[in-house]
A and B are shown apart, each in its own frame.
Chain A
Amino acid sequence: MTAETGSPAVGARSLRRQMRSWRRQRADTTLYEQVSDAYVWVFSGVVIGAMAISAMIQTRVSIASGCTTATCTDARTSLVWASVAGVLAVALAAAQSVGPVMVTPATGAWLLTTPVDRRPLLRSRLLAACITAALVCGATVSVVGLLAGFPGGSIAVLGVSAAVAGAGVTAAAASWQTHDGRTTRLVALVLATATAAWMLLIALDAEPATTSEWALGAVGWIVVSATVVVTVGLLVRASVRLDVLVRAQLVPGGSLLSSLSGALAGLDLTLVYDILVARRWRTAATVHPVRGGPGGAWALVWRDVVRLRRSTGAVASLVVALLVPYVVVRLGLDDVTVLASATTAFLAGVWSFSALRTTASNPGLVRCFPMSLAAVRSATLAVPGAFLLVWSLAAAPAIGRSLDLGVGAAVWVSVATGAAALGAVARWLLAGPPNYSQPLISSPAGGVPIALIGSTLRGFDVLALGVVPLLVSPTETGSLVSMGLTASVLSYLLNRK
């Protein structure tokens, strides 16, 4: 059958109406039953949300009590401005990764191949992306403002401005989607660099003095109004350009989101890691090959040197993360510097260990190497592990200052902190997928393997094991105990089949 030449495109509204009608015909539960089933989730959400807000308010009070000097107050205020730029950079990067306008592979195959009018169909996707970005940006900046001790009015103005700006940059990214997101990447990079530069100024105690009082007056209203006007303009522009987008620019983001949501539904965070790493390198397509190098297990070590040289993003994130312990000290949070350093090293460093993860999830690949499993894993751990330890040494001045330690003790505690992060990375990356052949426990979401919930804490357990001795005794002895515990865990993980 062929469409009549010149016939008008099918309306998205009529298609949606048709699909809604089909779905309703097949519905086997009423709305009341659905809400009844979901009450546990609603109740849990309310309770956890209340606990989170209470914890944040307590933390705000705690931070305020430890931040009594003018320099500390300046640093806290400045951090909020850095967070605005940072969260907008993240929003742009996320938008570029998924589109931001995208459709599922099914929609791409079944709807976009028909003479349907695409613009109304894609407009709902654009709005969904903008609303999501607005919620995330607004909530993040509000939380940072709350913790920084801003007054309620300033938090509201900042939160609303950040939310609207988040929607605006997402709309801008939608406009730039036709150019394969090059401009989006560039703007995200500029914002990320600005964030890092601002954090560097905070770490060096060289940031310009700023206040938050302006947000309570007319200037606050002007900022919100201007942000709204610009965002509406960007939304209109993006909406007009929606029908320029081709299928190849819409489906990959939907495929990525489908894969990620599948992995997250199973709480398989390492699968999320695999998906993101695979996508990053599939986008790169080719590299400048590097040959040569030593033999035996050292060949794997050398390959990691090459790998790190070409993984500029992973290295840059670890370098920028080095600012965190110094900023934490500036904020007067001396008690949490070790914990913050270890957690930052873990979260920023994990992206450098892709070879360890690849060998962990591919027994066939490991079988190709003429050495034991432990030797292969150790070789893939060596270079990024050494990089992590260098990172921890670079954090030693901040850790030493926060704990009032001499140079020697500061170095010991810092190395133990880096080792704890290394153990956490190994624990996280060497984990297997969820085992659904184990006994399941009943939950409102269906049967859940016993170990599944605990898998979200994987990595952080080893991190805690290494950090607790340092918190109890931030000395050479505490460091030795911490490193002993981490070494035991590492040895077990590297040898476990």
Chain B
Amino acid sequence: MSPKVPKSPPLLRVRGLERHFGDLHLLNGLDLEVRSGEALALIGPNGAGKSTALRCIAGADKATAGTVELDGAVLDERSPATRRDLAVVMDDLDFFPDLSVVEHLNLLARAHRVADADAVVDAVLEDVGLVGQAAQLPGTLSSGQRRRLALASAFVRPRRLLILDEPEQRLDAEGLAWLADRLNAEKADGLGILLVSHDPQLVDAVADWVLDLGGE
């Protein structure tokens, strides 16, 4: 990644991130920065450590070494402030089996004390194309619809940084186009985006910076 001269503190700053599994050194001193209104894409072959990097940054996994800062402070995923600012969509996101699609979004919006939660939920439902599935329980959704619900869960709440692990997974062509537009709109609203993707078109459409973890 080409370093950029900072004008203000970056939204996300990662320094010297390492993750070792025994003798396997998956991440070796990863440095990256994400600024408000910008998107950084991590690319590379399977096993390059992209998802592991995201997991360490989001606090879902413990890094062997390195620091992760959100807005200049150490990122602690246990902190309510971090959870308020950080919207993460990774593979470990599952749903309540007994709450419908709209109830999930309503719950998240209200837990984050979103003003006019019902209107926001309706707008996001419309946006992700799940209006017809609003009353459905997650166990009956297709894999693509579950992916849309996972993305909707990030869009229905306040956020400053989006961390997305292969958000294009299981989305059809129309869904991919929508996703690119949506992420660009998020950037325009001043959000930072860190994503892992295997889709060159999505990366081209969204990312301002690209970091190839397999490109040593």
Contact = CB atoms under 8 A, between A and B. Distances in A.
Interface of A: 277-278, 280-282, 284-297, 299-300, 303, 306-307, 310-311, 354-355, 358, 361-365, 367-373, 375, 497
Given A362-B94, A365-B94, A372 B111 contact: no
Contacts of A287: 98-100, 103, 135, 137
B137 A371 contact: no
Contacts of B95: 358, 362, 365
Given A365-B93, A368-B93, A285 B137 contact: yes
A289 B60 contact: no
A285 B140 CA distance: 6
A317 B92 CA distance: 32
B139 to A, nearest CB: 4
A300 B111 contact: yes
B102 A368 contact: no
A355 B107 contact: no
Interface in B79-132: 79-80, 83-84, 86-88, 90-100, 102-103, 106-108, 110-113, 118, 121
Given A289-B135, A364-B88, A370-B80, A296 B113 contact: yes
Given A288-B135, A299-B107, A365-B93, A370 B100 contact: no
Interface in B112-167: 112-113, 118, 121, 134-137, 139-140, 153, 157
Contact of B97 (A282, A291, A306, A367): A282
Contacts of B108: 368-369
Contact of B90 (A288, A299, A364): A364
B58 interface: yes
A281 B139 CA distance: 7
A383 B83 CA distance: 24
A363 B60 contact: yes
A371 B81 CA distance: 8
Contact of A363 (B92, B102, B135): B92
Nearest to B93: A364
B137 to A, nearest CB: 5
B78 interface: yes
A297 B88 contact: no
Nearest to A294: B110
Contacts of B100: 286-287, 289
B83 A370 contact: yes
B211 to A, nearest CB: 23
B158 to A, nearest CB: 8
B80 A282 contact: no
B77 interface: yes
Contact of B58 (A285, A365, A367): A367
A281 B104 CA distance: 15
Nearest to B91: A364
A364 B60 contact: yes
A371 B111 contact: yes
Contacts of A277: 97-98
Contact of A282 (B83, B94, B121, B139): B139
B115 to A, nearest CB: 10
A5 B44 CA distance: 54
Given A281-B139, A363-B60, A299 B111 contact: yes
Interface in B181-204: none
A372 B137 contact: no
A190 to B, nearest CB: 26
A282 B96 CA distance: 11
A355 B102 contact: no
Contact of A358 (B58, B84, B97, B157): B97
B92 A364 contact: yes
Given A362-B95, A371-B80, 8 more contacts: A286-B137, A289-B135, A307-B99, A310-B98, A354-B98, A365-B94, A368-B87, A371-B83
B135 A370 contact: no
Contacts of A311: 98
A370 B110 contact: no
Nearest to A367: B88
Contact of A295 (B84, B86, B93, B111): B111
Contacts of A375: 80
A291 B137 contact: no
A286 B136 contact: yes
Contacts of B110: 293-296, 299
A266 to B, nearest CB: 20
